[in-house]
Chains A and B, each alone.
Chain A
């Protein structure tokens, strides 16, 4: 028995030395009608904050679900903390902490009890739990409210509690699926402060998905995913460098004429339409502005110069804005949800399951 536990400890040490804490090779996942993941490969280094950026339905949640052993891939390899996600799923589960898009707290219980339950589920001893509880509740500033039932908490408080709950078994990696979705800007900023405090204090690797571009900028590295494929993967700075220099966006009284003249006079630069405006990517944009004004004959009605953002990178790579199709889609989902919940009054088991299927799929598809 003793030998065994020593061996286990040794392998654990080995696991801790794995430099690339997540390794994914050519991962594919198909649902009945849609290909959610179409062969993605990437790796995450220990201690990194790695962001997965993409619109709804791009395959972000599917990736997280596979890495957390909640879904099985159709093909491909995935290792988390050196463990195989299919064959060693329990070892994977022990080394990760998870925060889902939706809250998974027990509303009937207090903050403290929620943490206790989690600690016990993950095999943390009582002694360790009592030691960590204080530190962790102070970290999320809920120490004074630890004896209050979770149902009385605000959205931001619940999120914070979930975040620290995922830490109580001291995971190697923290998976955050849209950690700040549905929160107001101040709370969002606070959540991010926690994420970085955690990273600093515990040296935990953090893997997160987001569709907020400004949040993605604070990651160490980003993978941009679209239609189940990784289209770019690099540091935010390098991604922005892809765009090259500055961006000038302008609008004239006759855009077509302006575009024509621009192409003629500056064939070395590219010009693109964005809605009703024209976009030029250029080095030293500040010096180019006056030249541009003089060079184009149609009257310029508006003009702006800015540094490239990740939004521009996304636009450049995928040809569309990240959020443009989001709003409508979310509403659709809700509508579907209501109808089926009505149906479920009359349907029992079989039929009901079928009714629910599309929603489940949509969700796991994100």
Chain B
């Protein structure tokens, strides 16, 4: 057992170390979401003034951008598998006498950690966006981010195990990540859109992620009615979905990772 934990630890450690050491990646991973929040958020706010919406547009916008940023972070962190394959290091891991499941789990947890680091830094902007915060709330948000990041990281492993070249990542992001993001409700509420869009979004883990974040992040700033105006699912449904999704996707990603050659 000790040995297995050691495996988990070392794979996780490397993942986090690479993220922290790559200062450019670290910087851009935080800079872009903040850029979107400030420029896009302020701009869009002029179209949707508070009296029309019954809430501040920034309050609507922030949890969505937070959810998308950590999701993309988690998925792109798992792309290290493809890099490792291209530069040969993957072989070193694969021939070591440790079980593939633990390697996959270590990678997932590593990617989740990068999402948590990024998320906590983005959360620092909340005082400027009119969102009330406390330490307890921060911890709760971290928990939700963990749930979301974990699922997306596992999804990333699932795809990364199949990708042979890093160039394919752009296709992956266009086919999977971007549609998921657009149908997540981060940019507009999924309330008054055509029913086919709503149907698709019922299968979109990101839609549940964004909703869950809204419920938790805004819990000290807005009352129940106002939050339910901007969400489609209630918090327990969101958490239950994410939890189930995580379990299923872990299973599939480990299976896919085991097939890796």
Binding site for B on A (CB under 8 A): 68-70, 90-91, 93-94, 98, 100, 102-109, 113, 117-118, 120-123, 341, 344-345, 348-349, 352-353, 356, 360
A93-B95, A104-B88, A106-B14 as given contacts; A120 in contact with B7, CB under 8 Å: yes
Contact partner, B98, options A107, A109, A121, A341, Cβ 8 Å: A121
Stretch touching chain A among B17-25, B26-34, B121-129, B191-199: B17-25
Contact A102 B97 (CB under 8 A): no
CB pair B17 A121 closer than 8 Å = no
Q: Name the distance in Å between B239's Cβ and chain A's nearest Cβ.
A: 32
**B3 nearest CB neighbor, chain A only:** A123
Q: For the complex, is B244 an interface residue (Cβ under 8 Å from A)? A: no
Tell me, in angstroms, the Cα distance from A221 to B97 when the chains sit together: 29
Using A93-B96, A120-B10 as known contacts, say yes or no to A105 and B168 having CB atoms under 8 A apart.
no
Contacts of B92 in A (CB 8 A): 104-106, 118, 121
Residues of B within 8 A of A106 (CB): 14, 84, 87, 89, 92
Using known A-B contacts A109-B17, A344-B164, A344-B167, determine if residue A121 contacts B91 with beta carbons closer than 8 Å: no
On whether the beta carbons of A103 and B97 are closer than 8 Å, the reply is no
| Most chain B CB inside 10 Å of its own CB: which residue of A104, A113, A348 | A104
Q: Does B52 contact A (CB under 8 A)?
A: no
Identify the closest chain A residue to B87 (Cβ): A107
**B-side contacts of A122, CB under 8 Å:** 96-97
How many A-B residue pairs have C-beta atoms within 8 angstroms? Tell me. 80
Residues of A within 8 Å of B18, CB to CB, are 108-109
A68/B6 contact (C-beta < 8 A), A105-B89, A344-B165, A353-B164 known: no
Interchain CB contact under 8 A, A352 and B14: no
**Is there an interface contact between A98 and B95, defined as CB atoms closer than 8 Å?**
yes
Q: Kindly supply a per-residue 1/0 record for chain B positions 106-126, scoring 1 wherever the CB is within 8 Å of any chain A CB and 0 otherwise.
A: 000000000000000000000
Question: Cβ of B162 < 8 Å from any Cβ of A?
Answer: yes
Known A-B contacts: A345-B167, A356-B164, A360-B261. Give 14 more (CB < 8 A): A69-B95, A70-B95, A93-B97, A103-B87, A108-B17, A108-B21, A120-B9, A121-B98, A122-B96, A341-B167, A344-B165, A344-B167, A344-B168, A349-B168
A120 / chain B contacts, CB cutoff of 8 Å? 6-7, 9-10
Answer whether residue B171 sits at the interface, using C-beta atoms and an 8 A cutoff: yes
- Separation of A175 and B171 alpha carbons in the complex (Å): 38
Contact of B95 among A68, A349, A353 (CB under 8 A): A68
Instruction: Decide: A104 and B91 in contact? CB cutoff 8 A.
Output: yes
The residues of B that contact A118 with a CB separation of less than 8 Å are 92, 96
Q: Give the residues from 1 to 51 in chain B that come closer than 8 angstroms, CB to CB, to chain A.
A: 3, 6-7, 9-10, 14, 17-18, 21-22
CA distance A300 to B98 in the complex (A): 66
Q: Is B143 an interface residue (CB 8 A)?
A: no
Chain B residues, CB < 8 A from A107: 87, 89
Q: Which residues of A contact B163 (CB under 8 A)?
A: 349
- B53 on the A face (CB < 8 A): no
Contact of B164 among A69, A104, A113, A352 (CB under 8 A): A352
